[in-house]
Amino acid sequence: MHHKYTEIRIPIEADNPAIQRHEDLCIKCGQCRQVCEREIGVGRLYDLVSTKDTAICIHCGQCANVCPVNSITEVYEYGEVKEAIKDPDKIVIFSTSPSVRVGLGEAFGMAPGSFVEGKMVAALRALGADYVLDTNFSADLTIMEEASELVERITEKKKPLPQFTSCCPAWVKFAETFYPELLPNISSAKSPIGMQGPTIKTYFAKKNNIDPKKIVNVAVTPCTAKKFEIRRGEMNISAKANGSEGMRDMDHVITTRELAMWLKEEGIDIGVLEDEAYDSLMGPASGAGVIFGNTGGVMEAAARTAYYLVTGENPPSDYLCLEPVRGMEGVREATVEMGGLPIRLAVIHGTENARTFIEQMKKEDKSYDFIEVMTCKGGCIGGGGQPKTQVPMTDEVRKARIESLYAKDAKMTLRYSHENPDIKRVYSEFYGKPLSQAAEEMLHTSYYSRAEDLGPEGMVLKEFTKPAWEQDKENNEANQEKE
């Protein structure tokens, strides 16, 4: 077997597109295995003998977040982006995810949750960006498609319920690997980054008279799993739309940490920059798009628009602060009314929590309509590519980031995805309407079973690997009881 110290740490393949191990730095502390088994679940759900010594990974990067010596990091891509900026024939477009703006400031000594959107935009322009766009725009686009799909499932029953969210690529891969029977239940709507890429290389390029072959799309995100997602085979609809073989929808993903590293290498301190605004056309977003970065945020955003699609009216004010789906509990449940229909919701963060929820749902034959799953604790704000100002990341840090996004949403006048004027424009000028043929082709996708990756043993459920300190504690307690 080529993987070493597997009784202590998680194995990582050399060709993993999201994370890498710097072997010379590893101190064999076991923190990576603990988080992979206890919060993510993956580390104890397969057997290396069965997989022929091939590591199973959903690319969430939580192992990198807890590594105290940076032996595990994301796979860096910002060097390639720097080279693209130097190329006069390239148009480099950055798109920033919701959680980056409440995490980046920490890398420059600011308090957790500091909202640095304007400074972040200015920093990207200082690095040489040709355009800076907001992925929150495509969060609104995702909500339009995902909420429309939910309403269709409920009213027309064309697809099974419950509908699971699809914006977290680590969760999607977890389901493909360990619960492929649930794939028909996962929304076919692409993630915001999955929608942002092709919309830029088609609609945005046409509106701005840009040759899409010159565009280098760069997503700035808290998520290491996005590095895997953009390389999925199906994330290349731009190639078909533009008749350009080999074109990818999104070309690079850099994490919040990578952006901070790059800025520091260039001597750019975001704290001294004047705020700047996003470029127009795919810049403005609603408050619903803003809260996408929080656990429960996707659910809350979708509920706002689903209510409108069912009733033709905006929801009551309590939908703008849907308390039952907010918070840090691993699983939260709620029932809301939409035009007299009771809609049963569940919100989960942590794929180990998702596993136990799914098993319990099967056992008790409980029914739900809509279930949000985020792999990382707290949602994207706790993603595997966020700044490591505290190791391990604390709930206080997560809560500060969460509250910052909710506070931004509460201050906005535009709080519904379906009221975003740029969203209305992209549908009237390009996609037609949600779930149209054009939207289905560009903004939706499909999934496939990866169960064969587990080998003949399939999914197993092993005991937690206890670190030495925990085993010593239990032995000491046992000895004390004997005495």
Of residues 75, 78, 55, 54, the one with CA closest to residue 64: 75
Quote the crossing angle between the two packed helices 297-311 and 135-156, to the nearest 10°.
Answer: 50
Examine the residue annotation and report whether 313 is marked as an active-site residue of this protein.
Answer: no
Q: Name 359's Cβ contacts closer than 8 Å, sequence gap at least 6.
A: none
The partner residues of 91 in beta bridges, in order of sequence, read 215
CA separation for the pair 147, 302 (Å, rounded): 5
Among the options 117, 229, 258, 300, which is catalytic? 229
* DSSP states of 132-155: EEEHHHHHHHHHHHHHHHHHHHHH
Write down the number of H helices and E strands in the chain. Answer: 18, 10
Among the options 234, 266, 323, 429, which is catalytic? 234
CA separation for the pair 43, 26 (Å, rounded): 18
Among the options 63, 67, 167, 376, which is catalytic? 167
Examine the residue annotation and report whether 187 is marked as an active-site residue of this protein.
Answer: yes
Strands (E) across 275-431 are located at 331-338, 341-349, 370-374
Chain centroid, CA 1 distance in Å: 32
Examine the residue annotation and report whether 229 is marked as an active-site residue of this protein.
Answer: yes
Among the options 37, 106, 117, 149, which is catalytic? 149
Among the options 32, 36, 376, 380, which is catalytic? 380
Examine the residue annotation and report whether 167 is marked as an active-site residue of this protein.
Answer: yes
Length of the chain: 483
Among the options 37, 39, 145, 146, which is catalytic? 146
Helix (H) or strand (E) run with residue 131 in it: strand 131-134
Examine the residue annotation and report whether 57 is marked as an active-site residue of this protein.
Answer: no
Residues 14 and 34 sit within 8 Å (Cβ to Cβ): no
Among the options 71, 114, 138, 187, which is catalytic? 187
Among the options 119, 226, 227, 388, which is catalytic? 226
Burial of 327 (0-12, 13-18, 19+ CB in 10 A): middle
Parallel, antiparallel or unpaired: strands 341-349 and 91-96 = unpaired
Q: How many CA atoms lie within 13 A of 135 on its CB side?
A: 30
The partner residues of 342 in beta bridges, in order of sequence, read 337
Strands (E) across 147-263 are located at 163-164, 215-221, 252-255
Chain centroid, CA 432 distance in Å: 27
**Which residue type does 111 have?**
A
| Residue 153 Cα distances to 122, 184, 186, angstroms | 42, 11, 11
Positions annotated as catalytic residues are: 146, 149, 167, 187, 226, 229, 234, 380
